[in-house]
Amino acid sequence: MSFRRDDSKLRKCTHHGSSHSKASLPLPTTTSRAPLQVKPHPPWEDCVWLIRMLRVRRPSTILWGLFLCGLFLLYISLPSPSHGSCDCNETGSSYPLTGNLLDDSNRVYPKDPHKLALLIPFRDRFEELLEFAPHIHNFLASQRKNHHIYVINQVDNLRFNRAALLNVGFLESGVDCDYVAMHDVDLLPLNPALVYEFPSDGPYHVAAPHLHPRYHYPTFIGGVLLINRQHFRKVDGLSNKYWGWGLEDDEFYARLKEAHLQVARPGNLTSGTQNTFKHVHDRRVRRRDMIKCHNQQEVTRHRDRDTGLSTLSYRIQARKELTIQGAPVTVLNVVLECDHSVTPWCDCTESIGNTPRDPQQSAKTQDVIVPRLNRKKHLTQDG
């Protein structure tokens, strides 16, 4: 077959040197375009493609990393589970655990089956209380002892009666405390070996005569004395006749002795009278009420068989809850009542000095609670 040189049906692409003809290409039969169809790819194919692009020799390492990251993101996105209520009592606990365990001021120690009530007889000792409360709270917390501080504040116009205030504190702290500490506010324990354990066998005198910075006679049981509630009731508490300062501890020692309760004391301590306790009382700033009137001196040197916990008369004016540097404290404002026919020396504003001795009372030598002491031998004159 031959063609003419000017045949219009045949065109050669002389510019590109191609021998293909445009006339041989099929023409579209319609002018509308069909939509582009994109086939979706699974996500793992994208991961494989990414691994090939990065030219990773061990693809399983990347895949495991992505899997662990996904688990971590899923974990942190989940809400925290609610714990609800939990009975955290351990076997042997004698009282239910209450309070917020995350709050240091109300911390409860489940391993301690007992709770101590610190009874602080108080009047006009605010500066000493500010130092005492956080100190004793931290001291007992380091021993993991359940405890609470009760400040028995005498707000009446009568003379200070430490023994009666301790009786009040015993009655008012009996909700969940099974033993008490008769504790002076001006005496701070320093040696951590002084353990405030539950005294099951008998009273435990923490501030023993060989450790107390001031009093060293053998029958001394003041400062800090631990006693359980059963033994305190057995001796009917302390005498209510001791208005003013002194001798109420000696009379209480006579009660314990008659009840055949042996007083135990700390032993094998490396500290002594100078570094076991810190005594913060300054008698030059706060003078003790040592006035004697009526026949007080003669009566109070003998055993009291008439008054005690069962004859106590008082009323609570107010009850305040406060916290001193993390130490929870209950302050009881107490009004004591005095029977002037029995103890007229509860108010010595009218009669100062002692009346003549009663021969019958003086003859009761068997009831003398403490002999007259050699102060140079048994007392330290340092405040």
Rounded to whole angstroms, the Cα distance separating 331 from 334 reads 9
CB–CB of 289/202 below 8 Å? no
Mean pLDDT of 222-249: 96
The CA-CA-CA angle for residues 191, 193, 194, to 5°, reads: 80
Rounded to whole angstroms, the Cα distance separating 326 from 309 reads 32
**What CATH fold (topology level) applies to the domain 104-378?**
Spore Coat Polysaccharide Biosynthesis Protein SpsA; Chain A (3.90.550)
Rounded to whole angstroms, the Cα distance separating 321 from 7 reads 118
Q: Give SS3 for 8.
A: coil
Task: Compute CA 312 distance to the chain's CA centroid, rounded to the nearest angstrom.
Answer: 30
Q: Which DSSP string corresponds to 178-206? A: -EEEEE-TTEEE--TT------SSS-EES
| pTM given for the model | 0.70
Rounded to whole angstroms, the Cα distance separating 136 from 291 reads 32
Give the tens place of pLDDT for each residue, 278-332.
998 776 677 888 889 999 988 999 999 999 999 999 999 999 999 999 999 999 9
Nearest to 204 by CA among 114, 95, 299: 114
CB–CB of 324/133 below 8 Å? yes
Give the tens place of pLDDT for each residue, 5-37.
555 554 554 444 444 444 444 555 555 555 555
What band does 259 get if pLDDT is binned at 50, 70 and 90? very high
Share of the chain above pLDDT 90, in %: 55
Burial of residue 278 (number of CB atoms within 10 Å: 0-12, 13-18, 19+): middle
**From the CB of residue 324, how many other CB atoms can be counted at a distance below 10 Å?**
17
